[in-house]
């Protein structure tokens, strides 16, 4: 039978390219969503709401670390930051091994050695951004249970904020929160991730 007699005509290069792209997009959006960003930007609130909208489980790595160790984050830091980081890394790896979910990471998790490579390869990484001047207003409240803020001067926290900016910049998607409330940010992300709007993955 000649090719022109078949009901299915061969796809053009353009159609094939579009199909491949749509396929890649579908595989990409079925990944776990990892929410990263500096302390106090609202990763847990946005992540939880996003999980609800996408109908996926929600995991907070800080909660996992505290539940598993039976200790608070300040208590773990008292024994050494590396103790906390090891447990945090395990919580990240375990979340990535689960069926697609939404995971909110502690503010330092994405900047640890090898973490960005791992997460960018396996998840969709969403960076929640708030300018430092907004975080600065919350420093007293954040200091209560965050050892990296407690006892530090605002300029020292700002140094940490700047030092981490380069790694956060590698995220696939960025949401600037002062222009969105939590519900709006989560709704925008959910619309993007459920493929109703094609994202610019940067």
Rg (CA), the chain: 20
- Told to check if 87 binds ligand S3P by CB under 6 A, we report no
Nearest to 168 by CA among 116, 113, 92: 116
- Told to check if 36 binds ligand S3P by CB under 6 A, we report no
- Told to check if 42 binds ligand S3P by CB under 6 A, we report no
Using CB under 6 A as the criterion, what x/- string covers residues 52-71 for binding ligand S3P? ----------x---------
Specify whether the CB–CB gap between 11 and 181 falls below 8 A: no
Q: The tokens 């489980």 sit on which residue?
A: 57
- Between residues 99 and 114, which has the closer beta carbon with respect to ligand S3P? 114
Largest CA distance in the chain: 80
Q: List the interface residues with ligand S3P, window 103-122 (CB under 6 A).
A: 106-108
Tokens (6 digits) for 78: 């008292």
- Between residues 44 and 195, which has the closer beta carbon with respect to ligand S3P? 44
CA distance 26 to 30: 6
Q: Which residues bind ligand S3P (CB under 6 A)?
A: 39, 43, 62, 73, 106-108, 146-148
């Amino acid at each position: 039978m000649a090719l022109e007699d078949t009901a299915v005509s061969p796809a053009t290069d353009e159609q094939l390219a579009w199909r491949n792209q749509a396929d890649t997009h579908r595989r990409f959006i079925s990944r776990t969503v990892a929410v990263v960003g500096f302390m106090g930007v609202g990763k847990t609130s946005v992540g939880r709401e996003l999980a609800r909208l996408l109908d996926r489980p929600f995991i907070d790595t800080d909660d996992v670390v505290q539940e598993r160790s039976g200790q608070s984050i300040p208590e773990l830091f008292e024994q050494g930051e590396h103790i906390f980081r090891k447990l945090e890394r395990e919580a990240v790896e375990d979340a990535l091994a689960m069926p697609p979910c939404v995971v909110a990471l502690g503010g330092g998790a994405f900047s640890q050695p090898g973490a960005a490579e791992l997460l960018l390869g396996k998840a969709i990484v969403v960076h929640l951004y708030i300018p430092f001047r907004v975080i600065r207003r919350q420093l007293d409240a954040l200091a209560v249970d965050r050892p990296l803020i407690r006892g530090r001067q605002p300029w020292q926290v700002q140094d940490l904020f700047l030092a981490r900016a380069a790694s956060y910049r590698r995220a696939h998607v960025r949401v600037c929160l002062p222009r969105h409330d939590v519900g709006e940010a989560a709704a925008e992300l959910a619309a993007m991730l459920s493929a109703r709007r094609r994202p610019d993955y940067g």
